[in-house]
Chain A
């Protein structure tokens, strides 16, 4: 690997990579992202490699193990380039056919194609799959075509050209201006204008000129994995974004603070940093421009609160990850007391895009106040679980029904929780809400880092609020009283309500306590933590009242408030429920009505899950 010493050398090297790459050469790209990994895509990838070897096609067919393709529900995913044929639920047994088919261009394996459940039509290509149709995958789309361990793949898609443009054609102020014009806002949750942050950091006095650029990869929201997938699948886009940011800010030292639970992200990022350094794209005198910047990786210790800027910086310094008051912003005095600029993974990955394609182009995407696209992790009671990248301003309905494919098993949509544990639940009545930073805040939720948990009619909103408050109580650092004690007491009250011990005044108390926690907590964790409770009270007050006044859980979830019984008309006496019941609470003669002994029943719901005749009633 040779060190690139000028912008021209980079371009020459890129031409060389492209010239070696035959566009018509078949390439099998298999997803190695989190979801597909869980479906054992690794085995399929090994089998593919063996099969290519066996058929003697080395050099004829290329195999790429890439980052996440997004459609996790249907993994393991395989795409055949250049035609972009899309295969899903691929197993080892399909491998010989796939390899043979890749060589014969027109051969498509029908059984591996995605069938649209609505129209019943088979989709041959990725862009025909409804899940991908409405997406605008600007940041995330490259994941499917590059091998994260291979910097040349990234270079082949114009990688590091934004960096070279910035270093040789733009002034730092010009870079900030471009990002300002693009209207980029922080994707980590707050939505703070990125350019303003950069400018404040650049202008903050530093006695020895030291400034830090930090990437926040401490993604801890339950069910959210977009930053993980970006770091795993396309680490160079994040690195390039950070170098551009560092140049604009005047920083020479960078950190990526990544969760301890993301080992693959750390491996791929470390390798990417190494390769970038070897090419002279990172380190001293980048591309011979005289500008130097290097990045270190720091691994978190597993605390959710370390995603908060001041706690993250305390943790980076080797101290306990606890927030401090932010009257003096971290852009003025952050890590080691120096001006420090923190942006999250997705924000950094947007930067090269803005530089390459221009602020005018970028600012056309999205809404008035929120520009560009946003990656959401669409999870919960939804047909198409996965990562979706959509333009800001798209409605919740489009995300949930058009992209997500609606709710499984014909159930009714009830609410969607956006913004992670401290976001809010948005009810069905607001399903046509355009998704952007400001609109989500207006309805009592937030963008957060982009978690989107869909709930159906079988979800109890009090129980959901209790779940999130429990998570936050455990993840509160415990420094300030409203967050530590307030959330704990909130959990007590919610637990009481779900156990049928709620009191009439509890709802008002929750509202009052929630307001105080929001207003008086030290950091944003406490400042947003009551959102799940306040938003569910706002939109689902009747459910709280049913729990308290009627001692009834309308969704049939809260164990203390429900009883299981068997429908006389529907029970066929098959005996499955009696066999499945761990308590031996169900008795009955074969082919006769079965009965549940309420004293023995622990309300696990196994009988309901296993009954084929829907004869188990919950009341």
Chain B
């Protein structure tokens, strides 16, 4: 067992586990997108960043890939964390504005404007589908193609692969598109109708949607 401090609370975690797992064990909410408990950690979306304090210095690390270490001091909700996390969610929203998951996340964080150019790519390239297909289905028929902004998820040579069983797992595990936000007109890149206490505009579509919204509009990650 390893002893560490998360948000000022001393805790013990199994060696080989991650800071994210340790925090969740304690009931601390850290938002995630590319992380899934059934898949290997990937560290791509950077939404789960936490502050690792070392003396006078601190750095931001993705908690899903950060192994617990003895004596570690972690802050999950410091100003440094929330400020950076907001920018990351803003970036994600600008590349995938019609995701309800992202819109909800933005509303929860108090993001009131997306300051970046909206370039709807319909995918945040979190790689959950890729890992699911490989690790859970043993098929491995999808992967990443290209690099930088031309990176995308595809099958080999864009052909329908024989190994694909049409299990639909890739679609099911996608954190952004399984619940598309149907709001037609976004204001400053935001919908916010479901989650915002003061909606920017009444959303005609999402009034009845979302399993993710609790009774009082509180998000359960």
Cβ A482 vs Cβ B91 within 8 A: yes
A327 to B115 CA separation, bound complex (whole angstroms)? 32
State which residues 109-136 of B face A: CB under 8 Å.
Answer: 115-117, 119, 124-125
Residues of A within 8 A of B67 (CB): 327-328
A521 to B91 CA separation, bound complex (whole angstroms)? 13
Q: Does B60 contact A (CB under 8 A)?
A: yes
Per CB-CB distance, the 4 closest pairs between chain A and chain B, nearest first, are: A478-B151, A489-B116, A325-B65, A485-B91
Residues of B within 8 A of A509 (CB): 115
Cross-chain contact of B147 among A478, A519, A521 (Cβ < 8 A) = A478
Cβ B46 vs Cβ A481 within 8 A: yes
Residues of A within 8 A of B116 (CB): 485, 489, 492
Size class of the contact patch on chain A: 20 to 34
Q: Does B49 contact A (CB under 8 A)?
A: yes
A613 to B150 CA separation, bound complex (whole angstroms)? 47
Cross-chain contact of A522 among B43, B92, B146 (Cβ < 8 A) = B43
Cβ B148 vs Cβ A473 within 8 A: yes
Size class of the contact patch on chain B: 35 or more
Asked whether A481 and B44 contact (CB < 8 A) given A489-B117, A520-B49, A520-B60, the answer is yes
Task: Known A-B contacts: A325-B62, A522-B62. Give 8 more (CB < 8 A).
Answer: A303-B147, A324-B43, A325-B66, A475-B148, A476-B147, A479-B44, A481-B91, A488-B119
Cβ A478 vs Cβ B148 within 8 A: yes
Cross-chain contact of A484 among B87, B117, B148 (Cβ < 8 A) = B148
Q: Which residue of B lies closest to A478 (CB)?
A: B151
Contact with B along A216-251 (1 / 0, CB 8 A): 000000000000000000000000000000000000
Residues of A within 8 A of B66 (CB): 325, 327
With both chains docked as a complex, state the minimum distance between the C-beta of A297 and any C-beta of chain B, in angstroms. 24
Residues of A within 8 A of B60 (CB): 519-520
Cβ A513 vs Cβ B144 within 8 A: no
Residues of A within 8 A of B149 (CB): 473, 476, 478, 484-485, 488
Q: Does B59 contact A (CB under 8 A)?
A: yes
A492 to B117 CA separation, bound complex (whole angstroms)? 8
Q: Does B13 contact A (CB under 8 A)?
A: no
Q: Does A423 contact B (CB under 8 A)?
A: no
Cβ B44 vs Cβ A489 within 8 A: no
State which residues 50-89 of B face A: CB under 8 Å.
Answer: 59-62, 65-67, 80, 83-84, 87-88
Q: Which residue of A lies closest to B49 (CB)?
A: A520
State which residues 507-521 of A face B: CB under 8 Å.
Answer: 509, 512-513, 515-516, 519-521
Q: Does A320 contact B (CB under 8 A)?
A: yes
Cross-chain contact of B125 among A482, A484, A489, A521 (Cβ < 8 A) = A484
With both chains docked as a complex, state the minimum distance between the C-beta of B81 and any C-beta of chain A, in angstroms. 10
Cβ B44 vs Cβ A519 within 8 A: no
Cβ B87 vs Cβ A478 within 8 A: no
With both chains docked as a complex, state the minimum distance between the C-beta of B76 and any C-beta of chain A, in angstroms. 14
With both chains docked as a complex, state the minimum distance between the C-beta of B121 and any C-beta of chain A, in angstroms. 9
A305 to B119 CA separation, bound complex (whole angstroms)? 24
Cross-chain contact of A480 among B43, B59, B83, B94 (Cβ < 8 A) = B43
Q: Does A474 contact B (CB under 8 A)?
A: yes
Q: Does A486 contact B (CB under 8 A)?
A: yes
Q: Does A558 contact B (CB under 8 A)?
A: no
